[in-house]
Amino acid sequence: MKTKILCGTLVAVSLAGCATTKDEAAYRAEADAALKRDFHARGIATMDRLDQDELQRICTQYRDNPPFEVQQRLEAVQQKTIKLPADGKYMGDWRSGARIAESGRGVTWSDKAGNNGGSCYNCHQLSAQQTSFGTLGPSLLQFGKARGYTIENQKYVYERIYNSKAFNTCSTMPRFGTSGTLTESQIKDLVAYLMDPNSPVNR
CATH class of 41-203: mainly alpha
In the predicted model, is pLDDT for residue 97 greater than 50? yes
pTM score of the predicted model: 0.84
Tell whether the torsion through CA atoms of 7, 10, 14 and 19 is positive or negative. Answer: positive
SS3 call for 186 = helix
* Cα–Cα distance, 193 to 60 (Å, whole number): 33
Model pLDDT for residues 18-58, shown as the tens digit of each residue: 444 568 788 888 988 998 899 999 998 899 989 999 999 99
Check if the beta carbon of residue 160 is closer than 8 Å to that of residue 49: no
Q: How far is CA 48 from CA 106, 114, 123, 136, in A?
A: 17, 18, 26, 27
